[in-house]
Chains A and B, each alone.
Chain A
Amino acid sequence: MLKHLRKAGLTALLLLGLAGCGEVSRGAPTIPPETVHVHEYTQTVIPPSCTEDGYTLHQCACGDSYTDQQIPMTGHSYTPVQWEANCLEGEGIRYTCACGDSYLEQTSPPLGHQYAVEEVVEPEGEARGYTLHRCVRCDNSYRDSFTWSPEAFADFFEDAVFVGDSITYKMIYHNAKYKSLGNATILARGGVSLTTLVDKDSSYKLYYRGKISELEDIMTKCGGKKLFVLLGVNDVPWLGVEKTIQKLDTLVNNVLEKNPDVEIYLQSCTPIYLKREKGNLTNARLDEYNVLLKEYALEKGYHYIDIATPMKNEENALRAEYCLDQSIHVNDAGCAVWINEIKSYLYEENLYEQSK
């Protein structure tokens, strides 16, 4: 009996072992034949181009691919054609390949654009006017001579103060007539200069509401928040450009000390009539000052508006049509150009939108 039990137990153990209870090491599993992938490539011949080699592409549906049997690139084959000059290219021979590549061997320079005025668009509301120029040959166009209506951005100037010398005098009357600067306060005094305004010993200051006053006090009194400065022509000839900038810096600092919220707009000195140039009062000297003025403005984070360039003729002098007196003063047309530049600056710097 015991002998039978022992035999049965050994047999059971043997059978259990064979049935894989626990970890039993066996050989690799057999995979059914239908799950093994065999690549089947289709062939595509990619022809060579002018600039790239050709080849045979072998692709399997599973995504696997390879290339072989390279074919060298053909290179360009140019056909020469006689070429007429146009706005951007000169006359010559144009060599063109079937692939689209081409080059021109020029024998004469390009004609350049020939622009004619196609249209003058008047300003309307806050939309600026312009002159549209179009090339008569190639349809290329550009716009310039931007103009603004009197009402454009007028409310921007509600809290603006303009300060200047006799050149700014005309602006007082121009604005009274056209209201292009809205209700701006315009302070002007003939002969006033940066020197007289900042020099403690000078009594030649600004006249406002019946009193001789310092600029910084006027700013406080009228609540001005934007200060447009056009000064320097009465300083540069005898003081030089660097010292004039120093005087300007003092003036601005005096204003900001009492009125820290004021935004400073520095305007370039306007050009003078050619025959008025004398000694150190020259357009070249004023240009030097304007360069330094712009650098100063950028350094300090003030605004700089170039009102001079559009007033100049080819001799770098004040255009006759903008000049009041064949000297240094501008007329109504000059004031209009001046205001245009200010409004263009406000537009390009997005200052009007920011101020709303």
Chain B
Amino acid sequence: MNRASKWISLLLAALLVLTGCGGETTQQTTAASQAEETTAVTVPSEATLPEATQASSSGPVMGEVYNKMIENVQMPEMLELDEQMQLDYCGIDSQELIQSLVLVCSDGMRTDEIWLLEAPDEETAQALAELAQQRLDVKGQESVTYSPEQYAVVQEAQILQQGNFLALIVSPEVEALAEVYRQEMGM
């Protein structure tokens, strides 16, 4: 191989690395619906990180990311699910994850829900993406029968996955929330 070809090959390889091969971002998007006046809940940045896993996280702290996301967004009262509730209601085994922050709207009527997860590997992250899609299917089935308005919110939800990180965002403010998430995660 001549010198030019060698340099071209090197350049191409560098370009491939810079464009982030190995991570896939999947989305389900449509326009956000109208926001309502609600109270935002700020989550402490280490709220859900067990001490042992904080050191092994390779990226941002999910609590901090969440706080950034809701900084300029009106949110309803959101309830942070503990480990047991994450498992029972969402099927998320947080013991298997590096980070897991899961919040749902606590009024029992709105479908707002946010997952911010860091898996130990990409394979687990992809499995979580499937779980998130299943969760959306269930929420969609429920809301189509008793709340068309909430059904529309579920239809607009986004699942964002890159590398070991996954987010599920169900909210009338999905676009704004997803935008901040992407920024914080360097997507």
Q: Which A positions have Cβ atoms within 8 angstroms of B? A: 166, 169-173, 176-177, 183, 185, 189-191, 204, 207-212, 222, 324-325, 329, 331
Contact = CB atoms under 8 A, between A and B. Distances in A.
Top 8 A-B pairs, shortest CB-CB distance:
A210-B91, A170-B108, A191-B145, A190-B142, A173-B106, A169-B108, A207-B138, A209-B91
Contacts of B143: 190
Nearest to A209: B91
B126 to A, nearest CB: 15
Contacts of A207: 89, 138
Interface residues of B, number: 26
Contacts of A325: 109
Contacts of A209: 87-88, 91
A interface, over-half SS:
mixed
Nearest to A188: B108
A166 B146 contact: yes
Given A166-B146, A176-B79, A324 B107 contact: yes
Contact of B90 (A166, A183, A210): A210
Contacts of B91: 209-211
A175 to B, nearest CB: 10
A191 B106 contact: no
Given A190-B142, A209-B91, A210-B131, A329 B108 contact: yes
B81 interface: yes
B95 interface: no
A185 B142 CA distance: 20
Interface string B125-161: 0000001001100100111011100000000000000
Interface string B80-117: 01101101111110000000000010111100000000
Interface of B: 79, 81-82, 84-85, 87-92, 104, 106-109, 131, 134-135, 138, 141-143, 145-147
Contacts of B79: 173, 176-177
A191 B144 CA distance: 9
Given A173-B79, A173-B108, 9 more contacts: A169-B108, A170-B107, A172-B85, A176-B79, A191-B141, A191-B142, A210-B135, A324-B107, A324-B108
A329 B109 contact: yes
Contacts, number: 59
A50 B131 CA distance: 91
B139 to A, nearest CB: 9
Contacts of A331: 107
B150 to A, nearest CB: 9
B109 A212 contact: no
A98 B106 CA distance: 72
Contacts of A189: 138, 142
Contacts of B138: 189, 207, 212
Given A191-B142, A212-B138, A176 B88 contact: no
Contacts of A329: 108-109
B102 to A, nearest CB: 12
A329 B138 CA distance: 20
Nearest to A212: B138
A324 B81 CA distance: 22
Contacts of B89: 172, 207
Contacts of B106: 173, 176-177
B88 A185 contact: yes
Nearest to B134: A210
A169 B150 CA distance: 15
7 contacts: A173-B107, A176-B79, A176-B85, A177-B106, A185-B88, A204-B141, A324-B108
A211 to B, nearest CB: 7
Given A209-B87, A210-B90, A173 B104 contact: yes
